[in-house]
Amino acid sequence: MTPQPSPPRPGGRAEPGCLWFDWSRSVADPAEYVLVEAFRDDAAGAAHVQSEHFRNAQRSLPLHLAQTPRIVNVSIPQDDWSLLGEMAVPARG
């Protein structure tokens, strides 16, 4: 039986500066999960890592992991979504 992650708790999503916090199961490997999270800025990300629920996860999650998680950490120099010009909706009317 493949272990299931607990449903996300409101901790991460409720943090100031959290833009999204979502779990997804890998299509290629049903035993692999991907966590995608985004924060408004470096300070919000740092506050997340210093939060009580993150420290609790540091204590409890490693017991259930097959290997140390890998991470991609990227800062994007913009504060909103860009329009996808390749799929621009023509003016109507």
pLDDT tens profile 57-70: 999 999 999 999 99
pLDDT of res. 13: 75
E strands, the chain, where?
18-25, 33-39
Over residues 52-79, the mean pLDDT reads 91
Q: Say if residue 4's pLDDT is above 60.
A: no
Expressed as residue numbers, the domain containing 58 is 7-65
Place of tokens 């991609």: 72
- Report the number of distinct structural domains present in the chain: 1
Q: What's the CATH number where 33 sits? A: 3.30.70.100
Specify if 33 maps to a domain. yes
Looking at the predicted structure, is the pLDDT value of residue 10 above 70?
no
pLDDT at 1: 42
Work out the burial of residue 39: count CB atoms within 10 Å of its CB; fewer than 13 is exposed, 13-18 middle, 19 or more buried.
buried
